[in-house]
Structure 1
Amino acid sequence: MIKYIITSLFLFLGLQTTVLAQCISGNCQEGKGAYLFKNNSARFVGSFQKGLPWGEGQCHFSNGDEYDGQWQAGKFHGKGALTLADGSTLDGRWTEGKFMGKSLPDQNRPEKSISQKERRTWALVVGVSDYHHMPVLRYADDDAYQFHNQLLASDGLSLSSDQVKLLINESATREKILEELTNIANQAGEEDIILFYFSGHGLKGSFLPFDYDGFNNQVFHNEINGRLKKSKAEHRICIADACHSGGIMAARSADSWISNWYPMLADAQIPMTFFLSSKSSERSLESKGLRMGVFSHFLIRGLKGEADMDLDQSVTLGELFQFVSKGVTEYTGHMQNPILAGEFDPSLILRPGK
């Protein structure tokens, strides 16, 4: 169903930039009005800027689909719901016409106060470079080492060693990854955070551990979700830095992390956050100059405190994403754009104040 919804979405996104046949009423340049698309394919009612849907608006498509929500430059952007003719709905946040995840809880609803001391973070960090049946990677293991160290560092998350498990190269077998993931899922309490970080090769629907033999021993995404589903943890965050390969500015696997992960997210039916190194149509990059993946470089810098935009000495998930996204995008000349997707709270504190 999710694949059908996304396919239908992109079929109709083309209508957003179609030259409209006529303005039915109101001010369709700078104000509020109603537009009728060419051949009566769709009808938009709402706000306009520069002659494009911009702000709040509702669009009815001739096939029965309907989008109601926020727009920017003629594209779904912000909060909105796309309801298809069959009754299925994508309700949440949109960025430039792409569905980014479910809606956040009502910000006006009072929530119970949870001190950072009550909330604990449990992390499994996996990095594999030394593959026998895949191209050897240059920095995947180093990325994982440095991310692990930042979780423990006093200028990072200040986690205790019993809260973090590191699996590098030969220790990162399929059996060990699933075993340790089960362990942290069982340890995490109701208010806690689970972090799963993976740097290495991936195939459609799976990560590749050290003992992948070309055919067997993949760690499938649904196996990861299945273990996390059993946890009491309130927040489950997967940070995926896709495959490395050779070159000065080396390209990682172009496999579509979003399209691979979203079916698993739908099947899991649990709150999951996905912090991914690049869009599905892009390649994740690493740099000899940085001696690590570009995404992981800015991720670690952000957790050191550089992402503290409001200078309150803590780093939230939203601040970290903004910092990493800006850094990676600028460093790679817009060739790589990280994604934060799924269900998440941008105010969630990852690095507590010092």
Structure 2
Amino acid sequence: MNEEAYNTYAVIIAVENYQFGIKKVDYAKNDAQAFQQWLINNLKIPQENVKLWLDVDATKSALTEELRFEISRLNENDKFIFYYAGHGFFDGGHNKITTWDTHPYNIQETTVSLNQILMGPLRNSICNKSLIFIDACASRIEEQLTSREIIFDMNPSEFTEFVQSNNYRAMFLSCSRGEKSYSSPTLKHGIWTHFLIKALSGEACEAIDRGRFITSTSLQNYLSRAVPDFIKSSTEIRGTQKPWAEVSSSGTFVICEIPGADDENNIIDFILIPERLIIDVDHDLIWAPLRGLKNDGRSYPMYDYEGLEEIDVEAYCIRISKVKDEIRNLLEKILDFLLNYDWEEEVLFESNDDKLNITAFLNEDGENIIISLGISLKISGLHPMGDIIFDSEFNTEKTELKIFTDHCDYILDEDEIYNIFADCWDGIKKFFYLKKNFEKNY
């Protein structure tokens, strides 16, 4: 690899057609070539720094030997970008991807482990900046496939471990565990990759942060909405596809900068950085001591605040009762919707104000209705959609509630969060309990 000003290198892999008759992945080559053009035209990466392996070039030996060799040549100041479109799966404790010469009668032995060919070598390299984009899905490879399929669900824990091993790494996947990654004959692309490139190219204003930057957070927030919305409004697809991401624990960082922004319109006076989050149940209060920094004229100090002057600011505060009331209000809207409308696809609900953002997805798993709801507090101003506090999933068939803090932006106890907020679902729990008993009796 030649030393260039940008020090960015990329490997792009797409397997659309397979040597031994595995079902093709529609538009995978279009996706890979479009991603290559974004790297060269938008990021201005020299063409010789971008490796493109399509179909017959993407053999098991190429991924096993050549990819590891490319990674071994990275330097400390380099950035590495990896993109893959094709089939993938989870087997033997590792996430795997297929190659051109993967054989349908010996899937496990003729595929490659992402940990062995990609994440392990990156962990062992001195390169500390990497972005990984994978357009593959998490369900079985079957004889009659209509999407990018997988044998077993890809396991996100392996990706999480990789990302957290460095403070500048991010992994973006086209769908969540157990879902399919769909393509569109209208777009001539995988749906996720189409919107990924649209965002990275600056063609989606919703993905641009502070009028100029595509960040790890703004990109995932955009993809998590754009992909399901397109599937719902512009396709006949019945399934759901919610993009998934895991970002380094150091928080939001800039992926790329969109040229042509008016810097004067984006200058802010100061920024706020939360030191920690405190939940005080006795005083009905969630608060965060804030560190305030006065801007010295920089257009985007939230991404480069080294040396800024400290100033006194008030702490962020919000009532626990307010958060709980807003959750109940949104759940009541969902209940009203269920009572009044027939629906077949995923439905989005949202409540948003200057301190709080609640997003809920309503979807069906067979005959079972699942309500997925997440809470974000607008504490620091660094995240456009707010700082994540917890996610939840309510199973209407079992009237069972689960609360997760895996992706929380702060260190919070999952059991404590459950004990505080579980009663918000009492009304909707009661409804489905009575409904189930009514159906049983009549």
- TM-score, normalised to structure 2, is 0.48
Q: Deviations over 1:220-260 (max 9, x none)?
A: 122122221222121222211115999xx94332556552x
The answer as to 2:205 corresponding to 1:317 is no
- Structure 1 CA distance for aligned equivalents of residues 253 and 7 of structure 2: 12
Structure 1 residues 253, 227: CA separation in 2 closer, same or farther (over 3 Å shift)?
A: same
- 5+ residue gaps, structure 2, are 233-238, 260-442
SS in 1 for 2:202: helix
Q: How does 1:189-268 map to 2 (within 5 A)?
A: 189-204=75-90, 205-214=95-104, 215=106, 216-223=109-116, 224-242=118-136, 250-253=146-149, 258-259=154-155, 261-263=156-158, 265-266=160-161
> Match for 2:241 among 336, 342, 345?
336
- Structure 1 CA distance for aligned equivalents of residues 212 and 149 of structure 2: 35
Q: Deviations over 1:248-289 (max 9, x none)?
A: x94332556552x42365489733522011110321111111
Paired residue for 2:256? 351
Structure 1 residues 324, 264: CA separation in 2 closer, same or farther (over 3 Å shift)?
A: closer
Paired residue for 2:431? none
- Structure 2 CA distance for aligned equivalents of residues 123 and 185 of structure 1: 10
Structure 1 residues 303, 293: CA separation in 2 closer, same or farther (over 3 Å shift)?
A: same
> Match for 1:327 among 204, 211, 226?
226
> Match for 1:127 among 5, 14, 25?
14
Paired residue for 2:178? 281
Structure 1 residues 329, 173: CA separation in 2 closer, same or farther (over 3 Å shift)?
A: same
1:121 is displaced (CA, Å) by: 2.4
Q: How does 1:36-51 map to 2 (within 5 A)?
A: none
1:149 is displaced (CA, Å) by: 1.3
- Across the aligned residues of Structure 1 and Structure 2, the Cα RMSD in angstroms comes to 2.9
- Structure 2 CA distance for aligned equivalents of residues 217 and 172 of structure 1: 12
- Structure 1 CA distance for aligned equivalents of residues 81 and 152 of structure 2: 21
- Structure 2 CA distance for aligned equivalents of residues 151 and 213 of structure 1: 32
- Structure 1 CA distance for aligned equivalents of residues 73 and 217 of structure 2: 26
Q: How does 1:1-354 map to 2 (within 5 A)?
A: 120-131=7-18, 132-153=20-41, 156-204=42-90, 205-214=95-104, 215=106, 216-223=109-116, 224-242=118-136, 250-253=146-149, 258-259=154-155, 261-263=156-158, 265-266=160-161, 270-271=165-166, 272-307=169-204, 308-310=207-209, 312-333=211-232, 335-343=240-248, 347-354=252-259
Which amino acid in structure 2 is aligned with residue 203 of structure 1?
F
Structure 1 residues 267, 137: CA separation in 2 closer, same or farther (over 3 Å shift)?
A: closer
Q: Is the 8 A contact 1:287 1:293 kept in 2?
A: yes
Structure 1 residues 268, 289: CA separation in 2 closer, same or farther (over 3 Å shift)?
A: closer
Structure 1 residues 319, 208: CA separation in 2 closer, same or farther (over 3 Å shift)?
A: same
Structure 1 residues 314, 263: CA separation in 2 closer, same or farther (over 3 Å shift)?
A: closer
Structure 1 residues 306, 256: CA separation in 2 closer, same or farther (over 3 Å shift)?
A: farther
Structure 1 residues 254, 136: CA separation in 2 closer, same or farther (over 3 Å shift)?
A: closer
Q: Deviations over 1:41-85 (max 9, x none)?
A: xxxxxxxxxxxxxxxxxxxxxxxxxxxxxxxxxxxxxxxxxxxxx
Identity %: 26
1:327 is displaced (CA, Å) by: 1.0
Mean CA deviation greater in 299-308 or 180-189: 180-189
Which amino acid in structure 2 is aligned with residue 219 of structure 1?
V
SS in 2 for 1:158: coil
Question: With CA pairs under 8 Å and 6+ residues apart, which has the higher RCO, 1 or 2?
Answer: 1
SS in 2 for 1:280: coil
Q: Is the 8 A contact 1:273 1:344 kept in 2?
A: no
- Structure 1 CA distance for aligned equivalents of residues 251 and 44 of structure 2: 20
Which amino acid in structure 2 is aligned with residue 209 of structure 1?
T
1:184 is displaced (CA, Å) by: 3.3
- Structure 2 CA distance for aligned equivalents of residues 232 and 222 of structure 1: 17
- Structure 2 CA distance for aligned equivalents of residues 256 and 280 of structure 1: 9
Structure 1 residues 254, 213: CA separation in 2 closer, same or farther (over 3 Å shift)?
A: closer
Decide which structure has the larger Cα Rg and report it: 2
Q: Is the 8 A contact 2:6 2:45 kept in 1?
A: no
- Structure 2 CA distance for aligned equivalents of residues 211 and 329 of structure 1: 32
Q: Deviations over 1:86-145 (max 9, x none)?
A: xxxxxxxxxxxxxxxxxxxxxxxxxxxxxxx97632211000011124112221122111
Structure 1 residues 268, 147: CA separation in 2 closer, same or farther (over 3 Å shift)?
A: closer
- TM-score, normalised to structure 1, is 0.59
Task: Report the number of matched residues.
Answer: 233
Q: Is the 8 A contact 1:254 1:282 kept in 2?
A: no
- Structure 2 CA distance for aligned equivalents of residues 262 and 194 of structure 1: 21
- Structure 1 CA distance for aligned equivalents of residues 67 and 211 of structure 2: 32
Structure 1 residues 345, 306: CA separation in 2 closer, same or farther (over 3 Å shift)?
A: farther
- Structure 2 CA distance for aligned equivalents of residues 211 and 265 of structure 1: 29
- Structure 1 CA distance for aligned equivalents of residues 65 and 162 of structure 2: 22
Structure 1 residues 128, 306: CA separation in 2 closer, same or farther (over 3 Å shift)?
A: same
1:290 is displaced (CA, Å) by: 0.9
